[in-house]
Amino acid sequence: MLTKVDNRMLSLYQKYWRTVFDIGIIALTVWLVMYVFSYLYNIATPVFVLLSYFCVSNRWPKD
């Protein structure tokens, strides 16, 4: 037998499960992007460092 508190919690879960699911998907996506970038950075650290130095030093070829 469900009490009033159980009924309120059940309606709360039914109302907000999609919102909680969406937030979880967003958090998972952010974590995966960070994980992949971390993996790529560990492989190609010199390339990223030189690319950032090149962008900061503003030595683009002038036409």
Q: Do 54 and 46 form a contact (C-beta atoms < 8 A)?
A: no
Q: Do 10 and 2 form a contact (C-beta atoms < 8 A)?
A: yes
Name the amino acid, one letter, at 8. Answer: R
- Judge whether 62 lies within some domain: no
Using CA atoms, how far apart are residues 57 and 7, in angstroms rounded to an integer? Answer: 63
Name the amino acid, one letter, at 48. Answer: F
* Model pLDDT, residue 6: 78
26-34 mean pLDDT: 98
Domain that holds residue 18: 4-57
How many structural domains comprise the chain?
1
Q: Would you say residue 61 has pLDDT above 70?
A: no
Q: Would you say residue 62 has pLDDT above 80?
A: no
C-alpha R_g of the chain:
24
18-40 mean pLDDT: 96
